[in-house]
Amino acid sequence: MLAWLQAIHSPTAPLKWISWYELLFLFQLQTGEWGIQSTSSHNTWQLYTKVQEYDMHQTCRSWAAFLLQLIRLVLPGFKAEHNRPSNSRFTCWAMGVMMRIAPDADALLHSWLQSQLGTRQIVKVTQLQQLPVATAETPVEERTSKVGLHRFWNLG
């Protein structure tokens, strides 16, 4: 996780307000993982095992809790703030952090949001909670037969 955060950091990039959602989507795009989940009440964490159904709301809650705990190891007095992200697509406020994000990572995130939302603005964070797992691959839809009873049962 630390290596990933260091990889998306660029000391020459402008300082931006990045929401937890944007960081989560970028993590999913670059690593192929869903996020981080708590394994107990003793602050132990692991990558999602992907054996349960994907729940964006819970995934982002775990993600934010983990990042806050990680930041507080270095900056014990850090408090998360509710602010408007620097991404022009956001017209609402969201929890996040100020950081210098690498331009290529920022471009990847913007292109994925463009593919998911088109030209729509994000007016509520609940819009983001309805998005699927961020992946750079285009999903392949299975073709189903238009005739025959076998189309009602998945036998293959």
For every residue of 54-73, DSSP letters joined together read --HHHHHHHHHHHHHHHHHH
The model's pTM = 0.81
Number of domains forming the structure of the chain: 1
Q: What is the pLDDT of residue 137?
A: 61
Q: In degrees rounded to 5, what are phi and psi of residue 37?
A: -130, 150
Span of 28-37, 41-50, 126-135, 139-148 with lowest mean pLDDT? 139-148
Residue 99 lies in a domain: yes
Residue 31 lies in a domain: yes
Residue 141 lies in a domain: no
Residue 153 lies in a domain: no
Tens-digit pLDDT profile for residues 89-142: 888 888 888 999 999 999 999 999 999 998 889 998 888 888 888 886 654 455
According to DSSP, the β-strands at 81-83 and 36-38 are unpaired
The three-point CA angle 119-123-127 to 5° equals: 80
Residue 76 — very low, low, confident or very high, per pLDDT cuts 50/70/90?
confident
CA atoms of 60 and 77, how far apart (whole Å): 22
In terms of residue numbers, what domain contains 20? 2-134
Residue 145 lies in a domain: no
Say if residue 156's pLDDT is above 60.
Answer: no
- Cα–Cα distance list, 75 to 3, 56, 72 (Å): 18, 28, 5
Residue 38 lies in a domain: yes
Residue 97 lies in a domain: yes
